[in-house]
Amino acid sequence: MIVLGIETSCDETSAAVVKLNSIKRCEILSNVVHSQISEHTDYGGVVPEIAARSHIQYIDKVIQRAMNEADCDFNNLDSIAVTSGPGLKGGLLVGVTIAKAISSVTKKPLLGINHLEGHALTIRMVQKVEFPYLLLLVTGGHTQILIVRNVGEYTRLGTTIDDALGEAYDKVAKSLNLGYPGGPIVESMATNKTDYNFKFPRPLINSQELNFSFSGLKTAVRREIEKSIPISKETACNICAEFQDSIIDVLKDKLEGAISCFRDEFKNIDLNVVIAGGVAANKKIFSSIKELSEEKEFKVFVAPKELCSDNAAMIAWAGIERSNAGILETNDVSVRTRWPLDLEGQKVRGAGIKA
Ligand code: KG4
Ligand code: ZN
C-alpha cells in the first residue's frame, strides 16, 4: 500500500510518500517539509494569513518533490491522505483543495485525516507499540493525555484549560525576546542555569483532575521578567530553567494520575507511554519521564525528532492505519478547524479548540 500524505494545518507545508510493505513494515519513501518559521519569527508566533499564503506558494512544489524523491508516479498511489483538521482554516483549505484535485484526476480515494491522530499513531511507523497505550500529546495547539485504544478509538483523560504546552514555551520565549519557535530555544537556555531564588507555581498540581493550565505560569514568568529588567542572559536562562522545571513537575504529576487510570482499567497489560507532538522533541522532558518510568515500571517511547514535529509522513501513515483497520472514508472531505480525538470527551471550560 502506497499513500501520499499532505499536511498544511499550521506552519509546515509538507508532503510524503509512505509505503506499507509486504511484511507489514512502514517505509517512508519521502517526507518533504517546507518550514515557514522564518516568515513568522518577527511576530513571535504563527500568523494565519501569512501561513495560508505560504502554503499556496509552496504546496505544488513540495508535493512534486515528495513524489520525485520517492520515485513514485501518481498512478502508483493507493490513496491520498490529507490533514482536514484541526488547525488553521486557510492552511487546511489549501491542503484539502489540492488533495481533492489530485484525487479527482487520478481517481484514487481521498482520506481526510485528523492531524492529532497523525501525532498519536506516529510511533507505530518506527516501533512496535501495540494498542492500548497511554499518549502524552504535546504540541503548539494541544496538550492532552489520552488512552489510545485502537485506530480511531481514543479516550481523553486530561486536556489544557487554557494555553497549550508548546504555546506556553513560545510565549515565554517571546516575553524574553528569544525568537520563534520558543521550545528549542527555551530548552537550550535552561541548560545554562545557575543559582536562583525565585519559584514559579506548579498549576493544578496535586489536584484530582488530570487537566493542565499554563496561563498562570506564563503570568508568573512575565512578572519575574518585569522585576528583572534590564534582563541579563543569566537571569533569562534561570527563568527558562524554572519555567521548564515547573512544566516537568506538572507533566509528571498528571502522568502519574493517568497511569493509575490506565492500570485500573487494563490490569494485565504492560503499560507503554508514548510522548508525541512537537514538544516531544524536548530532551529534558523525555529524560524526566524516563526516570519516572523506571520508578513506576512502564516503557516510554518517543519518535525521532523529525517525526515529532509536523510532517506529512505521519498523515500518510494514519491513512494506512485507517485503511488497514477498515475504517472507510468517503471522498467528501471537508475542513474542520475543531476536531477532538475523543468525540465523547466532556466539554472542558476554557479548552475550546484545544480539547
Ligand atoms: O506538533 P508541532 O510541530 O505543531 C503543532 O501541531 O502545534 O509543535 C510545535 C510546537 C511549538 O510550540 C514549539 O515551540 C514546540 O512544539 N517545540 C518544543 C520543542 N521543540 C518544538 N517545545 C519544547 N521543547 C522543544 N525542544
Ligand atoms: Zn502538530
3-state secondary structure the chain: CEEEEEECCCCEEEEEEEEECCCCCEEEEEEEEEECHHHHHHHCCCCHHHHHHHHHHHHHHHHHHHHHHCCCCHHHCCEEEEEEECCCHHHHHHHHHHHHHHHHHHCCCEEEEEHHHHHHHCHHHHCCCCCCEEEEEECCCCEEEEEEEECCEEEEEEEECCCCHHHHHHHHHHHCCCCCCHHHHHHHHHCCCCCCCCCCCCCCCCCCCCCECCHHHHHHHHHHHHHHCCCCHHHHHHHHHHHHHHHHHHHHHHHHHHHHHHHHHCCCCCCEEEEECHHHHCHHHHHHHHHHHHHHCCEEEECCHHHHCCCCHHHHHHHHHHHHCCCCCCCCCCCCCCCCCCCCCCCCCCCHHHC
Is 346 within the bounds of a domain? no
Q: For residue 235, give every residue at least 6 positions away whose Cβ sits within 8 Å of its Cβ, in sequence order, or none.
A: 196, 228
Asked if 146 and 253 sit in the same domain, the reply is: yes
Is residue 331 packed enough to be buried (19+ CB in 10 Å), middle (13-18) or exposed (0-12)?
middle
Q: Give the mutation target among 309, 337, 341, 353 for probing the ligand 1 site: most ligand atoms within 8 A of CB.
A: 309
Residues that place a CB less than 5 A from ion ligand 2: 139, 310
Q: How far apart are CA 347 and CA 355, in angstroms?
A: 8
Is 244 within the bounds of a domain? yes
Asked if 154 and 267 sit in the same domain, the reply is: yes
Asked if 190 and 221 sit in the same domain, the reply is: yes
Asked if 110 and 169 sit in the same domain, the reply is: no
How close is the Cα of 278 to the center of ligand 1, in Å? 4
Q: Give the mutation target among 119, 136, 139 for probing the ligand 1 site: most ligand atoms within 8 A of CB.
A: 139
Index of the ligand 1 atom closest to the CA of residue 310: 3
Index of the ligand 1 atom closest to the CA of residue 170: 14
Index of the ligand 1 atom closest to the CA of residue 182: 14
Asked if 41 and 148 sit in the same domain, the reply is: no
Q: How far apart are CA 88 and CA 48, in angstroms?
A: 7
Is 136 within the bounds of a domain? yes
Asked if 282 and 159 sit in the same domain, the reply is: yes
Index of the ligand 1 atom closest to the CA of residue 11: 4
pLDDT of residue 350: 76
Asked if 262 and 135 sit in the same domain, the reply is: yes
- Quote the number of domains for the chain: 2
**CB of 279 sitting under 6 A from ligand 1:** yes
**CB of 140 sitting under 6 A from ligand 1:** yes
Q: How far apart are CA 121 and CA 308, in angstroms?
A: 11
Asked if 146 and 76 sit in the same domain, the reply is: no
Is 348 within the bounds of a domain? no
Residue whose C-alpha cell is 522545571: 245
**CB of 320 sitting under 6 A from ligand 1:** no
Is 344 within the bounds of a domain? no
Q: For residue 261, give every residue at least 6 positions away whose Cβ sits within 8 Å of its Cβ, in sequence order, or none.
A: 147, 157, 210
pLDDT of residue 328: 74
Asked if 89 and 176 sit in the same domain, the reply is: no
Asked if 276 and 211 sit in the same domain, the reply is: yes
Is 206 within the bounds of a domain? yes
Q: Give the mutation target among 279, 282, 283 for probing the ligand 1 site: most ligand atoms within 8 A of CB.
A: 279
Minimum CA distance residue for ligand 1 atom 7: 140
Is 19 within the bounds of a domain? yes
pLDDT of residue 330: 64
Asked if 210 and 135 sit in the same domain, the reply is: yes
What is the CATH classification number for the domain harbouring 50? 3.30.420.40
Is 355 within the bounds of a domain? no
Q: Is the Cα torsion angle 225, 11, 310, 261 positive or negative in sign? A: positive
- Please tell me the number of the ligand nearest to residue 139's CA: 1
**CB of 144 sitting under 6 A from ligand 1:** no
Q: How far apart are CA 188 and CA 198, in angstroms?
A: 20
Asked if 311 and 292 sit in the same domain, the reply is: no
- Cβ atoms of 31 and 16 within 8 Å: the answer is yes
Index of the ligand 1 atom closest to the CA of residue 142: 7
Q: Give the C-alpha distances (Å, rounded to integers) separating 316 from 7, 81, 187, 279.
A: 9, 5, 30, 21
**CB of 170 sitting under 6 A from ligand 1:** yes
The residue segments making up the domain with residue 203 are 131-302
Q: pLDDT per position in the chain (355 positions), as tens? A: 999 999 999 999 999 999 999 999 999 999 999 999 888 888 878 899 999 999 999 999 999 999 999 999 999 999 999 999 999 999 999 999 999 999 999 999 999 999 999 999 999 999 999 999 999 999 999 999 999 999 999 999 999 999 999 999 999 999 999 998 999 999 999 999 999 999 999 999 988 899 999 999 999 999 999 998 999 999 999 999 999 999 999 999 999 999 999 999 999 999 999 999 999 999 999 999 999 999 999 999 999 999 999 999 999 999 999 999 998 766 679 999 999 999 888 878 777 777 8
